[in-house]
Amino acid sequence: MQAHASAASRFGANALAAALTLSASLATAHHNSQAEFGPFGGPTIYVEGKIVDIHWGNPHISMDIEITGGALPAGEKWRLVSHPIRIMEEYGFQSSDFAVGDTVKLHTWTHVRKQPLMWPRAIQINDGPMRSNLRFTDMIDIANGTFESLNIQAPLNLNGSPPQRAGPETVAKLKEMGLIDANGLMIWPPPGRTD
């Protein structure tokens, strides 16, 4: 069941699009996961599920998940959304890591308006490690001293990341902990430790 309001893309279609446009918003914001799922340091829930479908594409990857356990009722159908392909790869995830039928364990945020959407803070595929999917939350947890207890594997792109999006308090704490280099970038693992 599809009701299309499609703009055929050809020269001159701009006029048609303008006529159809009911909002003249000139918003230029990027996709903002915090607006939809809450702050990076906000509480997460733990859920388990089975992958029913995978869309490994832009502007962000997504997967259909049937819930099997955890904080959501078994049998519910949710869509996991995450980063664009390039960012997923920078985190260390590849499309070949996921397959329909795989089980996933997730520490995840859910949509602030109760839509069936989740944004994972960390993802465990089958019996693999629980891997981080949000480095800024890792920074917050590291600064708060809670990261180690979560048993979450840090992502490939944590080391060398600019930490500003984790917030000024977190940046200050990380500096005190000696985890910010001379260029203002995150150092991970901590000096003297190999992960």
Q: Which amino acid is at 195?
A: D
Task: Give the burial class of 97: count Cβ atoms within 10 A of its Cβ; 0-12 exposed, 13-18 middle, 19 or more buried.
Answer: middle
- Closest distance to other proteins from the beta carbon of 14 (Å): 6
Q: What three-state secondary structure class fits 1?
A: coil
Stretch that binds other proteins, among 55-63, 93-101, 118-126, 151-159 (CB under 8 A): 55-63
Question: Does 85 contact other proteins by CB under 8 A?
Answer: yes
CB 51 within 8 A of CB 65: yes
Q: Which amino acid is at 18?
A: A
Q: What three-state secondary structure class fits 171?
A: helix
Question: Does 27 contact other proteins by CB under 8 A?
Answer: yes
Distance CA 112, CA 66 (A): 20
Stretch that binds other proteins, among 39-47, 51-59, 96-104, 124-132 (CB under 8 A): 51-59
Quick one: 29 or 182, whose CB is closer to other proteins? 29
With CA atoms as reference, report the closest residue to 133 among 70, 53, 56, 40. 40
Task: Give the burial class of 77: count Cβ atoms within 10 A of its Cβ; 0-12 exposed, 13-18 middle, 19 or more buried.
Answer: exposed
CB 181 within 8 A of CB 162: no
- Closest distance to other proteins from the beta carbon of 18 (Å): 9
Residues 91-150 that bind other proteins (CB under 8 A): 112-113, 115-117
Question: Does 193 contact other proteins by CB under 8 A?
Answer: no
- Closest distance to other proteins from the beta carbon of 37 (Å): 10
Question: Does 58 contact other proteins by CB under 8 A?
Answer: yes
Stretch that binds other proteins, among 80-88, 129-137, 170-178, 179-187 (CB under 8 A): 80-88
The residue to which tokens 């869509």 are assigned: 79
| Site residues (vs other proteins, CB under 8 A) | 1-11, 13-14, 17, 20-23, 25, 27, 29, 31-32, 35-36, 52-53, 57-60, 62, 64, 77-79, 84-86, 112-113, 115-117
